[in-house]
Chain A
């Protein structure tokens, strides 16, 4: 089980996250929802151990979570130019010899011998996801995985995420795509003002659309007025 206990983080004077407490079991997918700047990416960077000076604890099976135990797919993954997908993955294979590139590629279906610069956005996302699976990390963080993907690529990615779930990974997805989150997640957390504003279980997903509409009209009436 992944446990986030009392996570708080501030950029200087600005408090971004306040006392976040979340527990996630193996083989579960958690959706994280919230407007831009609410702290979703910061939370992911804390879980990925990319940020050091945060308050609180990140535990996996009651032990401090290590960077190697987390695979983090950034919203806009970047690559080293002019090397192929396979050459990218080989960098990881040197470190993690058990990483079965061709085995995983039977799921990801990437043209691994092509230069990555020529990949489509969807292919780049899939390659980035494959790279982070090299360490067989138990925790997977996906920041805006559907950003810039067409319908077909999104469906492919959904299938891959479900495969990872079946393999017992703990998956956190931050996304603005409500429908995809509803389809994939076991639980959805709505973040607002650096805190968990509302939590939705699978059973209460039907209320999510209404809640978001109400939340938007309550908190962003000025924008609605401008639009109208």
Chain B
């Protein structure tokens, strides 16, 4: 591996390296790094154990930066020397968490935070899966194209952050809950593209069966990602498991509403722009008792409207 890496570096010209660095959005990541470092330094300085909350938030921020690099074309070039690419990408993670391990008052958790993002780097991104030596398991129908596209569009990072948070949830209950919320936010991102008509017709015969399939696939995906969190909740936090279960069901319902919102405004070959304010409002509503009926009523109405909109095309 080291030999391959050395050869890759030797094969590069200086101009190429600087272009790659620029295209990787390295400055953006550097800014985040400085921002992160400042917080880390501050939190270590005041010996604040809750540094983990901030770490988790910043971890998400970094992942969001990774997810929004929009460098698909660059990736195509970079695949000629993928190891260098992964090194650049992971250098930032490694630096951040080495610092954390060295100076944090609660450094025993950092190896987990370091290890899992490293693994994620070897997940397929935008290129064919075979070239990475990894094959994505297909837990459901081949017609579930949203999650493949979403994962390659950076969603994999969000999911991994959610899993990391779930692992930390073994030690601290709050992280288990944050993990579920992060996973649902990541899945939101999978449903941004309105499919072409041909795909619509290939998936189902009627608007109702199309919507049912979409919801079913989303439910499977959400359950699959959060099964570990549910298991941890059941085994380690049995007495407060109802909180985990409620959050899980509530998040699922908000995702359900989001998918319906997408198809209420469906138009072939366009992109869906979710109204994040409304989605956030639904999310908050499920935790405020007197507001709970609101998303339920909206859900019924949205189902009818989405069905009506889709039936125009069926």
Residues of chain B within 8 A (CB-CB) of A68 are 201
Of the stretches A14-22, A26-34, A75-83, the one at the interface is A75-83
CB contact between B72 and one of A80, A117, A128 (< 8 Å): that residue: A117
Instruction: Please measure, in the bound complex, the distance between the C-alpha atom of A123 and the C-alpha atom of B50, giving whole angstroms.
Output: 53
CB contact between A132 and one of B150, B153, B198 (< 8 Å): that residue: B198
- Nearest CB of chain B from residue A2's CB, rounded to whole Å: 19
Residues of chain B within 8 A (CB-CB) of A211 are none
B149 close to A83 (CB less than 8 A): yes
Residues of chain A within 8 A (CB-CB) of B128 are 84, 113-115
Closest to A114 in B: B128
Q: Is A95 engaged at the interface, CB distance under 8 Å to the other chain?
A: yes
Q: Is B216 engaged at the interface, CB distance under 8 Å to the other chain?
A: no
Instruction: Please measure, in the bound complex, the distance between the C-alpha atom of A50 and the C-alpha atom of B312, giving whole angstroms.
Output: 9
Instruction: Please measure, in the bound complex, the distance between the C-alpha atom of A80 and the C-alpha atom of B196, giving whole angstroms.
Output: 7
Instruction: Please measure, in the bound complex, the distance between the C-alpha atom of A117 and the C-alpha atom of B129, giving whole angstroms.
Output: 15
Segment 78-137 of A: residues with Cβ below 8 Å from B: 78-84, 87-88, 90-96, 113-115, 117-118, 128, 131-132, 134
Q: Is A67 engaged at the interface, CB distance under 8 Å to the other chain?
A: yes
A90 close to B142 (CB less than 8 A): yes
B203 close to A91 (CB less than 8 A): yes
Instruction: Please measure, in the bound complex, the distance between the C-alpha atom of A50 and the C-alpha atom of B201, giving whole angstroms.
Output: 11
Q: Is B305 engaged at the interface, CB distance under 8 Å to the other chain?
A: no
Segment 98-145 of B: residues with Cβ below 8 Å from A: 126-130, 141-143, 145
A118 close to B196 (CB less than 8 A): no
A80/B143 contact (C-beta < 8 A), A50-B197, A113-B130, A132-B198 known = no
Q: Is B148 engaged at the interface, CB distance under 8 Å to the other chain?
A: yes
A-B contacts counted at CB < 8 A amount to: 72
Closest to B201 in A: A67
- Nearest CB of chain A from residue B134's CB, rounded to whole Å: 14
Instruction: Please measure, in the bound complex, the distance between the C-alpha atom of A88 and the C-alpha atom of B196, giving whole angstroms.
Output: 11
Best-surrounded residue of A81, A84, A88, A128 (most CB of chain B within 10 A): A81
Q: How many residues of B contact A (CB 8 A)?
A: 29
Q: Is B206 engaged at the interface, CB distance under 8 Å to the other chain?
A: no
B145 close to A83 (CB less than 8 A): yes
Q: Is B69 engaged at the interface, CB distance under 8 Å to the other chain?
A: no
- Nearest CB of chain B from residue A140's CB, rounded to whole Å: 13
Closest to A79 in B: B196
Instruction: Please measure, in the bound complex, the distance between the C-alpha atom of A88 and the C-alpha atom of B202, giving whole angstroms.
Output: 10
A94 close to B141 (CB less than 8 A): yes
Segment 194-220 of B: residues with Cβ below 8 Å from A: 195-199, 201-203
B197 close to A80 (CB less than 8 A): no
- Nearest CB of chain A from residue B66's CB, rounded to whole Å: 15
Segment 226-281 of B: residues with Cβ below 8 Å from A: 268-269
B126 close to A82 (CB less than 8 A): yes
Residues of chain A within 8 A (CB-CB) of B268 are 78
B127 close to A115 (CB less than 8 A): yes
- Nearest CB of chain A from residue B75's CB, rounded to whole Å: 9
A95 close to B198 (CB less than 8 A): no
Residues of chain A within 8 A (CB-CB) of B149 are 80-83
Residues of chain A within 8 A (CB-CB) of B127 are 115
Best-surrounded residue of B128, B195, B268 (most CB of chain A within 10 A): B128
Instruction: Please measure, in the bound complex, the distance between the C-alpha atom of A91 and the C-alpha atom of B313, giving whole angstroms.
Output: 18
| B-to-A contact residues, CB < 8 Å | 72-73, 76, 126-130, 141-143, 145, 148-150, 152-153, 193, 195-199, 201-203, 268-269, 313
List 11 A-B residue pairs with CB atoms under 8 Å apart, sorted by A's residue number. A82-B126, A82-B148, A82-B150, A91-B203, A114-B128, A115-B72, A115-B128, A115-B152, A117-B72, A118-B73, A128-B198
| In the A-B complex, the 6 residue pairs with the closest CB atoms | A90-B142, A78-B269, A82-B149, A82-B152, A113-B128, A94-B143
| A-to-B contact residues, CB < 8 Å | 50, 67-68, 72, 77-84, 87-88, 90-96, 113-115, 117-118, 128, 131-132, 134
Contacts beyond the supplied A50-B197, A88-B199, A90-B142: 13 A-B pairs with Cβ under 8 Å: A68-B201, A80-B149, A82-B126, A82-B148, A83-B148, A91-B143, A91-B145, A91-B199, A91-B203, A94-B202, A113-B129, A115-B152, A131-B198
